[in-house]
């Protein structure tokens, strides 16, 4: 079968986004969804945007730190600018990674090693995904261990257990495959450089601790946007509701890693429609939170559009 051209793949992702969203609207109670969306007051956008700004600034610092470990230099102000641009492109281009590809390319134009520039972006993103998976496993485990939180409905916790098993299983499979690929890659010249850069930028002490801590704070800023939206919409009721919310929303963030739509739209809402009923909550509530989160991230990324035609030189 002939491979699809890049333009065709982009079109398919736009189509997939539209199909998933339309299918969800046909399955959900649309009036109920509109009611849930109306619960969010306009003022919650202010703290949500603040958390989004914090996330970009922290992520830019993490990228600069990673690049520095690979002997690449970058002013922090430039790192923030480039990260803003990458975030904007990730929001408006299919796949959710084109902004990062562009970020690696622009950085490489001012460095002596294009491979190291690409590795800096890959390692920085990998650090964030590993932290997200780790935090998700901890949150789901905490919710399942504390079965009396919220409602005593045992079906709720059984549903959450069922939802967490595929996540944990997928993580184990990906970890095994990645370890095997890295092990085999050491026999090739490129693989040797990849392993060397992974050690320098992620796996050595105390680098891994710095990466883990900074990535956990970045993930916390993602989750903080959900919490602010839920708080403003009056969705937090009971001492354990925030723990359940954090666990469910971490699942939404993981679902966005699947690069089949534009900025995770459709996939994220579909995950919400499945996860919330498993926790004994209305699907419309989860989808409304997901939509609110997507809109906040999209709007907060718009300043990045101003850097579209800025100079690509980012090294000292």
pLDDT digits (tens, 9 = 90+) for 214-270: 999 999 999 999 999 999 888 887 656 888 899 999 999 998 887 788 888 888 999
- Highest average pLDDT, of 6-10, 162-166, 194-198, 311-315, comes from 194-198
The answer to whether residue 185 is domain-embedded is: yes
- The pLDDT value recorded for residue 316 is 46
Mean per-residue pLDDT of the chain: 82
pTM: 0.85
Total domains in the chain come to: 1
Quick check: is 132 in a domain? yes
The whole-number pLDDT of residue 185 equals: 53
pLDDT digits (tens, 9 = 90+) for 26-53: 888 899 999 999 988 888 888 888 898 8
In the predicted structure, residue 121 carries a pLDDT above the cut 90: yes
User: Which range marks the domain in which residue 104 is found?
Assistant: 43-304
The answer to the question of residue 311 being in a domain is: no
How much of the chain is helix, strand and coil, in % rounded to 5?
75, 0, 20
Predicted pLDDT of residue 13? 79
Within a domain: residue 263? yes
CA of 192: how far to CAs of 54, 197, 255, in Å? 35, 9, 31
Spatial contact of 94 and 13, defined as CB atoms under 8 Å apart: yes
In-domain check, residue 17 = no
Q: Is residue 3 part of a domain?
A: no
Instruction: Give the model's pLDDT for residue 65.
Output: 96
Question: Which residue pairs, CB below 8 angstroms and at least 24 apart, start in 183-188?
Answer: none
The predicted model gives 64-81 an average pLDDT of: 93
- What pLDDT was estimated at residue 311? 67
d(CA 284, CA 288) in angstroms, rounded, equals 6
Q: What is the pLDDT of residue 52?
A: 86
27 assigned to some structural domain:
no
Compute the distance between CA of residue 254 and CA of residue 99 in angstroms, rounded to an integer: 18
Residue identified by tokens 């919400």 is 272
Does 25 fall in a domain?
Answer: no
């Amino acid at each position: 079968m002939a491979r699809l051209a890049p333009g065709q793949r982009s079109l398919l992702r736009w189509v997939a986004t539209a199909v998933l969203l339309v299918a969800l609207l046909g399955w959900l109670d649309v009036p109920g969804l509109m009611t849930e969306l109306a619960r969010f007051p306009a003022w919650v956008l202010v703290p949500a945007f603040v958390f989004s700004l914090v996330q970009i600034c922290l992520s830019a610092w993490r990228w600069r730190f990673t690049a520095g470990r690979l002997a690449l230099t970058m002013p922090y102000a430039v790192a923030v600018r480039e990260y803003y641009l990458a975030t904007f492109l990730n929001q408006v281009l299919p796949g959710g990674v084109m902004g990062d590809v562009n970020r690696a390319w622009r950085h490489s134009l001012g460095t002596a090693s294009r491979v190291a520039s690409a590795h800096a972006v890959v390692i920085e993103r990998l650090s964030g995904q590993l932290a997200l998976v780790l935090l998700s496993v901890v949150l789901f485990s905490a919710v399942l261990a504390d079965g009396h939180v919220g409602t005593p409905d045992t079906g709720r916790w059984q549903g959450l257990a069922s939802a967490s098993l595929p996540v944990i299983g997928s993580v184990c499979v990906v970890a095994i495959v990645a370890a095997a690929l890295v092990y085999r890659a050491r026999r090739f010249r490129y693989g040797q450089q990849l392993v060397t850069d992974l050690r320098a930028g992620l796996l050595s002490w105390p680098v891994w601790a710095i990466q883990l801590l900074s990535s956990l704070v970045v993930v916390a800023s993602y989750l903080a946007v959900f919490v602010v939206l839920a708080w403003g919409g009056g969705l937090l009721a009971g001492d354990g509701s925030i723990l359940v919310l954090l666990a469910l929303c971490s699942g939404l963030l993981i679902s966005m890693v699947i690069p089949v739509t534009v900025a995770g739209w459709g996939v994220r809402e579909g995950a919400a429609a499945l996860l919330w009923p498993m926790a004994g909550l209305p699907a419309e509530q989860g989808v409304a939170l997901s939509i609110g989160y997507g809109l906040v991230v999209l709007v907060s990324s718009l300043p990045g559009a101003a850097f579209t035609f800025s100079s690509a030189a980012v090294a000292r």
